Amino acid sequence: MSNIVEIKNDLMGDSYFKIKHKTGLMIIVYPKPEYTSTYAVFGTKYGSIDTSFKTSEQDKFTRIPEGTAHFLEHKLFESEDLDAFARYAKTGASANAYTSFDKTCYLFSCSDNFKESLEILLDFVQHPYFTQQTVQKEQGIIGQEIKMYEDVPDWQVMFNLLKIMYHNHPVKIDIAGTVDSISQITAQVLYECYNTFYNLNNMVLAVVGKTTVEEVLQSADRLLEQSEDVTVNREIQDEPQSIVNDYIEQKLPVSMPQFNIGFKESYETPQRSLKEQIYTGILLEIIAGDASSLYGDLFSKGLINTSFSTEYFAGYGYASVIFSGESRSPIDVKKLIEQEIEKLRKNGIDEQDFQRARKMLYGRSIMEYNDIDSMANHFVSCHFEGYELFDELDIYKNVTLSDIEERFKHQLILNKCALSVILPN
C-alpha cells in the first residue's frame, strides 16, 4: 500500500498530496480542478555536477565523463521502436526535458489525454535503450550543440565567471560537458549511471493541474516497477574559499558588453537551507531591486538597462550571488555595487527597505501558485532539498530585519568578487 499525506495551508486555503509509493517513488499531486490543463514532471537527483559518486554498496567512487547526465537525458527519449516524442505527438501533449547542475527532469503539459501522456512518461523513463552505435551518433549531435553554445553570450559570460570563481567544483564545467569528455561516454557508462541515479527512491513525480490523486495512482500502480533502495553519495570536492581570479573577458558579436559579477560564498555545510535562500533573495532585493537606490543610480547614469538582474546561485557544494546585465562599463557597475554593499554594512539596512522587499517577494511567491508549470518544477526542488512547498510562505511571514542583517554578515564579501565580461568583437 502507498502512504498518502495531505499538506494544507490555511492562508492559501489549498492543499496538495504526497504519496510514498510502494515502489519507492515519491509522488506529489496538487489538484487544481478549476484549471483546463495539467503539467507533470518526473525528476531524478542527478545533474551535471555528479561526476564522481558511489552507492552504499560500493567502496570506491566512480568517476564518469563530464556531460554524462545531459547525454543520458537526450538518449532516454529513444527506444527500439517509437521514440517518446513521436508517442506524445499522438496524445497532443507538449513534452520536453532538461538537465541542470543537480537534477534531470522529464516533463509534459496537456489539456486532453492526460492519462495516456502520463503513462508514456512513466514508461520511457523506466526503460532505457542504449547501444554503442546510437551513442556514437549522439556524440556528434551533442558535440555540435556544445560548439553552438560557444557563441552564445549569455552562456559564455556565466561559465566564464564560474571558471574564475571555482577551483575544483564541477559546477564550473558546461552542463553538456566538452567535445572531448562526451567522446569518452559509452553505452556501458550510460547504463551504469542510469542504474545508479534512476532508482525510483532517488526520484520524484510531481503533477499539478486538472487531475486527482486516484487518476495518477492508477497509472503509477500499473506502470511503476519496484526499486531496491540504494543510497547514492556524491563526492564532496575540496574547494578553496578563495576565488581563482577576479576578472575574465571574451569577445563575441554583441552590440553592448554583457557582464556577470559574482560573490563567492563560504559555508560549512554543502547544502544551503531554504531560509538561507529566501533571506538572500530579500537581501538582494534590498540592495539592487527595481525600487532600490542603487538600481535607480545605475539606471540614471546609463550604466544598466532592463536586462539587469540578481540571482542566488546555489546548489550542492557551491553558492554565490550573481549580478548580471548589459552595460557600456561593467567595471563601473561593479564599483557602484561594491560601494553600496559597504555603505549598507556601515549604516545598516533601513526597516522600510526591508519590509518593502519582504512584502514584494512574499506577494510574488503567492502569485506563483497560479502557475502550474512553476509549481510542478518547484515541487521537484522541494523534495530533493528536503522542504515542503508551503514552508517558504511561513518564512516570508516571520522573517525579521535582524535575520537579514545576520545573513548579510556571511555574504557579498568584496575579496571574493569576480567579474566576467563579454565584449563586442
Assess whether 229 and 283 both reside in one domain: no
C-alpha cell at 377: 518544477
Q: Give yes or no: residues 216 and 293 share one domain.
A: no
pLDDT at residue 1 greater than cutoff 70: no
Q: What is the largest CA-CA distance in the chain?
A: 66
* Whether 73 is catalytic: yes
In a domain, residue 79? The reply is yes
Same domain, 217 and 341: no
Which is the catalytic residue, given 66, 73, 119, 326? 73
80 pLDDT band, cuts 50/70/90, is confident
Q: Are residues 280 and 258 in the same domain?
A: yes
**Do 74 and 177 fall within a single domain?**
yes
Tell me: do 351 and 397 sit in the same domain: yes
pLDDT score for 127? 94
Average pLDDT over residues 288-304: 96
End-to-end CA distance of the chain: 63
User: According to the model, what pLDDT value does residue 255 have?
Assistant: 95
pLDDT at residue 59 tops 90: no
**CA-wise closest residue to 202 among 310, 102, 311:** 102
Portion of the chain with pLDDT greater than 90, in percent: 89
Taking only the tens place, the pLDDT of each residue in 310-356 is 999 999 999 999 999 999 999 999 999 999 999 999 999 999 999 99
Q: Are residues 92 and 135 in the same domain?
A: yes
Give the chain's radius of gyration (CA, Å).
23
344 within domain boundaries? yes
Domains held by the chain: number: 2
Q: Which long-range contacts (CB under 8 A, 24 or more apart) does 373-377 make?
A: 373/39, 373/109, 375/30, 375/39, 375/206, 375/208, 376/30, 376/39, 376/40, 376/41, 376/107, 376/206, 376/207, 376/208, 377/41, 377/105, 377/107, 377/206
Q: Please indicate, yes or no, whether residues 46 and 146 belong to a single structural domain of this protein.
A: yes
Residues 6+ apart with CB under 8 A from 205: 25, 26, 27, 28, 40, 41, 42, 43, 122, 216, 220
Average pLDDT of the residues of the chain: 95
Q: Is residue 137 part of a domain?
A: yes
Q: Residue 278: inside a domain, yes or no?
A: yes
pLDDT in tens, 142-172: 999 999 999 999 999 999 999 999 999 999 9
- Residue 239 falls inside a structural domain: no
Confidence of residue 77 (pLDDT cuts 50, 70, 90): very high
Residue 267 pLDDT: 84
pLDDT in tens, 351-377: 999 999 999 999 999 999 989 999 999
Residues 224, 282 within the same domain = no
* The pLDDT of residue 58: 85
pLDDT bin (cut points 50, 70, 90) of residue 44 is very high
Domain ranges, residue 385: 247-424
CATH (domain of 401): 3.30.830.10
Task: Report helix, strand or coil for 289.
Answer: coil
| Residues 153, 279 within the same domain | no
Nearest to 215 by CA among 29, 378, 89: 29
Please give the Cα distance from 405 to 394 (Å, whole number). 19
The residue type found at 389 is L
